[in-house]
Chains A and B, each alone.
Chain A
Amino acid sequence: DTAVSQTPKYLVTQMGNDKSIKCEQNLGHDTMYWYKQDSKKFLKIMFSYNNKELIINETVPNRFSPKSPDKAHLNLHINSLELGDSAVYFCASSQRGGTELFFGEGSRLTVL
């Protein structure tokens, strides 16, 4: 069983479109995250949720909207995609903030 799974693994889309990435964890963790990794492998935290409540929002454009229907799921919706949104987006979870992170395999978004 995959601990943190995210779908889709690849997205290729045109500028201006809207897309969503879904994430699910079966580890029973309370905290989930979205990270963005650019082409140079730099990893930047975007959002963190604890038990469905948003606790970290790191200066991300409001075109990005996370949603956590329950503590096992954290989805990311992106409106009006731009070229600069091309990256790999990772979902992660942890028992609580500051403890070991468990990452999904990533979703590679390419905006043309």
Chain B
Amino acid sequence: GDSVTQMEGPVTLSEEAFLTINCTYTATGYPSLFWYVQYPGEGLQLLLKATKADDKGSNKGFEATYRKETTSFHLEKGSVQVSDSAVYFCALSHRDDKIIFGKGTRLHILP
């Protein structure tokens, strides 16, 4: 079945560092890919998405590119802030089907 694998956390960085959180997937066909973010004490919210190969999703300085050849959707940000501290979830879905989440990666940003 379909699955999502993302890097284990926690990831701890200093403010203004470059961030990469790796995500790879296993799926048939061409799923849509998502990154969700969960801030402390809140529900998940969509950060960005990509619906076809080579699409780049971007939001709030975060980017991820849908790479069909490597089945990856790595999340990147050039300069992180303390306010980016959260748990990040990679996810995939097929049309009219459930969304499958990775296990989440906790990110800590130190001032």
Chain B interface, number of residues (Cβ within 8 angstroms): 24
- Which chain B residues have a beta carbon within 8 Å of chain A's beta carbons? 32, 34, 36, 38, 41-46, 49, 87, 89, 93-99, 101, 103-104, 106
Contact A106 B98 (CB under 8 A): no
Q: Which listed residue (A42, A48, A96, A106) contacts B43, Cβ 8 A?
A: A106
Q: What is the interface of chain A mostly: helix, strand, loop, or mixed? A: loop
B48 to chain A, nearest CB (A): 11
Contact A98 B95 (CB under 8 A): yes
Contact A97 B103 (CB under 8 A): no
13 contacts between A and B (CB under 8 A): A40-B103, A41-B103, A42-B103, A42-B104, A43-B44, A92-B44, A98-B95, A99-B93, A101-B46, A103-B44, A105-B42, A105-B43, A106-B43
A49 is an interface residue with CB less than 8 A from chain B: no
